[in-house]
Amino acid sequence: MGMLAGPNSVLRAMAFAHDAGARSLEAWMCWAGWRLFVGCTRCRTDGPDAPCWGWAGCHGHHNACGCQHCAERQAEELAA
């Protein structure tokens, strides 16, 4: 899963868990790779029913993932 994030990211993960309808904070929500936001459009919309729920990693640019990789890709697309 990689390193867990710092305190600010834990607060962001707690807000995501609440907004997505999770019963509790889960370790994957605290993944240090989240940059723009935790998870993707599917997890934010479908919550625990999303097929990508629980994945500490890129959820795919096509799913509007909030990870570092997708944030960089989005910045490149906007700059082009």
Q: Give how many domains the chain has, as a whole number.
A: 1
Closest by CA to 29, choosing from 8, 51, 55, is 55
Domain that holds residue 29: 7-79
Residue 21 near residue 48 (C-beta atoms within 8 A)? yes
Q: Would the pLDDT of 1 be above 50?
A: no
Tell me the per-residue pLDDT of 17-66, one tens digit each, with 9 for 90 and over: 999 999 999 999 999 999 999 999 999 999 999 999 999 999 999 999 99
Q: Is residue 1 part of a domain?
A: no
pTM: 0.84
pLDDT of residue 67 exceeding 90, the answer is yes
Which two structure tokens, joined as six digits, stand for 43?
A: 């997890």
Residue 2 lies in a domain: no
Name the band, by pLDDT with cuts 50, 70 and 90, for residue 10: confident
Backbone angles phi, psi at 69, to 5 degrees: -60, -45
Confidence of residue 16 (pLDDT cuts 50, 70, 90): very high
